[in-house]
Amino acid sequence: MIQRKSRGRIVVIGGGMSGITAALEASEAGCEVVLVEKSASLGGRVAALNQYFPKLCPPQCGLEINLRRVRTSPWIRCLTLAEVERIDGAPGNYRVDIRQAPRYVTEKCTLCGECVEVCPEERADEFNLGMGTTKAVYLPHEAAFPMRFAIDESVCTGTECGRCVQACVYGAIDLEMKPETIQVEAQAVIVATGWEPYDAQRIEGLGFGAYPDVITNVMMERLAAHSGPTHGRILRPSDGEPPKSVAFVQCAGSRDQNYLEHCSGVCCLGSLKQARYIREQYPEAEVYVFYIDIRAPGRLEDFYQASQEDERLHLIKGKVARVTPEDGTGSLVVEAEDVLSGTSTSRSVDLVVLATGIVPSDASEIQVDGGLRTDAHGFLTREQPSDGLFVAGCAARPTDVATCVRDASGAVMRALQFCRE
């Protein structure tokens, strides 16, 4: 039973750290919130990290508390598998059209997993970036909210099969579920649609796609996570062996006018963090980080300084020219300039990690009169065509979680001016 009077309603688009923070802050300031997330669970990209800097805690540390607050708040309505199609109206008086795709699994689900046992269809495991598969009926990940299976309609054959329906003694599967259109009135909208990893296939010469032991930084997070495809053991994809040496290629495609011109701001610290994952698992492993310059803003400098104390972590200032297979050894050769010695250098390693950058999620399907405004890099600008639309987190620029949280609070403060009792 809701006792207090609502101050108004805010729609938050995107259920990552920025969107969750915005939803919680707005609800605690007295607003009703409709939180719209396009995937089957909240958490965004942070949920897929193994640990996050600066404290190197698992993502569940921050997420679990926040998700519990979302779950228990009578003020937040959370719509997953949902996208905003259109925003009409003016500040203080918007109408938001939301389309929610069917989940096919209802709240009766107890997570018994009988449906998974009988499901005959498989799909690429998107949470693990295609490293492994799940059944068509899947749990988004082990800490998902809502903690409930979903069915991927792109691979499920529906009532033609129906084995999951028969297996579910709780009657939690409804293959006749239809998409729904939901209309919401709101005083303000916060867009927190976040980021995607830059497509490493587009980068020439660094071997992604050609050699299985060239992976990306986001793949490394999943390899290191106990809920990942290798249950937390960092192994070479080609042969499942532990790597004895690993090279990180910084600015892979970033700060490069051929690919991404911007700096993503988090990749240097991301790689230093991942170097620690490797060194903790393999005390004898050598790690090379090829960088243009290390960007560790503010207090993250401490993290960078501490990393330099590791004598098996070699920081080499120089841009990597190419990655090629080494004849007959199964290893990879990383060739780069070594700026400080004025020479070129090459290293033979077992695994190469490309520190690819952050690109904005495509928010173009959100129809607004005048269209959502973007900057030269495709991120949403602070100034939008309507004054009651606000942008938070990585939708606006690449940044770390702490900044996203501050950003989201700021967006809520500005949104509240349109929410009057």
How far apart are CB 170 and ligand FAD at their closest, in Å?
28
Contact predicate 318/293, CB 8 Å: no
Residue 289 CB-half CA count within 13 A: 30
Looking up tokens 């290191």, which residue turns up? 224
How many residues in total does the chain contain? Answer: 421
How far apart are CB 83 and ligand FAD at their closest, in Å?
4
Report the distance separating Cα 67 and Cα 92, nearest Å.
Answer: 28
How far apart are CB 5 and ligand FAD at their closest, in Å?
29
Task: Pick the closer one to ligand FAD by CB: 38 or 141.
Answer: 38
Task: Pick the closer one to ligand FAD by CB: 346 or 374.
Answer: 374
Backbone phi and psi for residue 151, each to the nearest 5 degrees, phi listed first: -115, 130
C-alpha pair distances (Å), 180 with each of 80, 135, 139, 152, 243: 12, 25, 22, 16, 48
DSSP-derived secondary structure for 187-220: SEEEE---EEE--GGGSTTS-TTTSTTEEEHHHH
Task: Pick the closer one to ligand FAD by CB: 39 or 245.
Answer: 39
Report the distance separating Cα 130 and Cα 124, nearest Å.
Answer: 5
How far apart are CB 346 and ligand FAD at their closest, in Å?
25
Task: Pick the closer one to ligand FAD by CB: 146 or 164.
Answer: 146
Token output for 381: 């600008």
Q: Which residues bind ligand FAD (CB under 6 A)?
A: 13-19, 36-39, 44-46, 49, 52-53, 83, 192-195, 217-218, 221, 266, 270, 273, 358, 361, 363, 393-394, 399-402, 404
How far apart are CB 154 and ligand FAD at their closest, in Å?
17
- Is the bond leading into 54 cis (omega within 30 degrees of zero)? yes
Task: Pick the closer one to ligand FAD by CB: 81 or 156.
Answer: 81
The conformation of residue 91, written as its DSSP 8-state character, comes to: T
How far apart are CB 24 and ligand FAD at their closest, in Å?
13
Termini Cα distance of the chain: 19
How far apart are CB 401 and ligand FAD at their closest, in Å?
3
Task: Pick the closer one to ligand FAD by CB: 61 or 111.
Answer: 61
Backbone phi and psi for residue 155, each to the nearest 5 degrees, phi listed first: -120, -20
Looking up tokens 């690919």, which residue turns up? 259
Report the distance separating Cα 104 and Cα 176, nearest Å.
Answer: 7
Token output for 130: 């295609």
Contact predicate 189/94, CB 8 Å: yes
Exposure b/e, 2-33, CB count within 10 A at least 16 = b: eeeeebbbbbbbbbbbbbbbbbbbbbebebbb
Task: Pick the closer one to ligand FAD by CB: 302 or 326.
Answer: 302
Name the residue among 78, 312, 91, 110 with its Cα closest to residue 186. Answer: 91
Task: Pick the closer one to ligand FAD by CB: 180 or 326.
Answer: 180
Task: Pick the closer one to ligand FAD by CB: 99 or 135.
Answer: 99
How far apart are CB 6 and ligand FAD at their closest, in Å?
23
The conformation of residue 6, written as its DSSP 8-state character, comes to: P
Task: Pick the closer one to ligand FAD by CB: 172 or 277.
Answer: 277
Backbone phi and psi for residue 224, each to the nearest 5 degrees, phi listed first: -85, -15
How far apart are CB 368 and ligand FAD at their closest, in Å?
12
- Is 44 in a helix, a strand, or coil? helix
Token output for 346: 């090459």
How far apart are CB 190 and ligand FAD at their closest, in Å?
11
